[in-house]
Each structure stands twice: as C-alpha cells, then as structure tokens.
Amino acid sequence: MRVRRPAAGRKDRDTFISGKNKQNAVKSMAVTDGEGRLLWCSPTGPGSCADITHARQAGLVKLLDGGPVVEILADAGYQGLGARTGGRVVTPPHRTFKKNAPDRYEEMYERRRRAHSSRRIRVEHGIAHLKNWRALARHLGRREHISDTVRAVAGLLSHQQTADLNPRRQR
C-alpha cells in the first residue's frame, strides 16, 4: 500500500521504498480461505522487505511448522517456504531451466503454473477486496497508524463477508 514519503533527512527514509514499483509503500500479508474471504491480516512492515522475510517476522513460519495441516497458496515471493513448513505453503513451480529447456519441460512448466494460478485467483480476489477500501487505496496519514487501519479494515471486511453468508430472514 502506498504511503507518504518520509521527510528529508530522516534516517529511515529509504526503508519504505518498494523495489518493484519504486514507490514509498508498506507491506502486509493477508490469509484468505478457498472462497477468498479474509481470515487474517498481519501488521504492516516496510515496503522494501521481502515477502518471505515478512512471513518469518510475522511468525507465520513457526505457526505453520507445528500447527494444523492446512494448504496455503502463495505467490512466487514465498518460494522456499514450502520446505520449511512441511509442504503447507504451495508456490508456483520454480523454473529449473533458464535457457535451452526441452520442449516437454516448457509444456509441463506452463501447465503447472496455470494450474496454480487458477487455484490462486480467489485468493487474489480476496486481497483485492481489502485494497479496494478507500482508507487503504492511498494512505495519507501517519505511517505509524497504518497497521491499525489495515487491521480495522480487515476486521470490517471479514465481518461483511461473513454477514453476507447468513442473510436475515425476511418475514
């Protein structure tokens, strides 16, 4: 999520710059169920932090290592986490051949990548619902308070999604 740029001369000014988009941002992890309903949202961290590092700092790796058997569909930023969590984190396939790959390997790689992507689309939709809230589209307040804002919006969104499951009976 994009945030305001820290003032000139601040020692932590570079920690919020996201590497991909070259914007000042903070990062938060969201866990959804198979239908895309939000289950959990982590506190925010600097945008320059890698996804897998953020998962370790949030305690997700320890929770999954000894916790219940669940399957988490993650993006490529979490590659390598599956081995540390006993296969509970499923990421897109890793490309073993960078150049001169056999034709059958390319077909198999593409098929596995599409299968993972089609299973993960609902997760992406759940995350998009979180980002659609105006308070998170572009946060103009203090970065110190955005973690509370993210968790509040996540709670409201989760309540809204579960309320839609049990509509009131009309008499």
Structure confidence by residue, pLDDT tens digits, 138-167: 766 777 777 888 888 888 888 888 776 666
With 60 as the cut, is the pLDDT of residue 130 above it? yes
- Distance from C-alpha of 148 to C-alpha of 44, rounded to nearest angstrom: 9
**What is the mean predicted confidence (pLDDT) over 62-73?**
80
User: Sorting pLDDT into bands at 50, 70 and 90, what band is 21?
Assistant: low
Cα–Cα dist 108/95, whole Å: 11
89, pLDDT greater than 80 = yes
pLDDT for 77: 86
Query: Rg for the chain (alpha carbons), in Å?
Result: 19
The pTM score is: 0.70
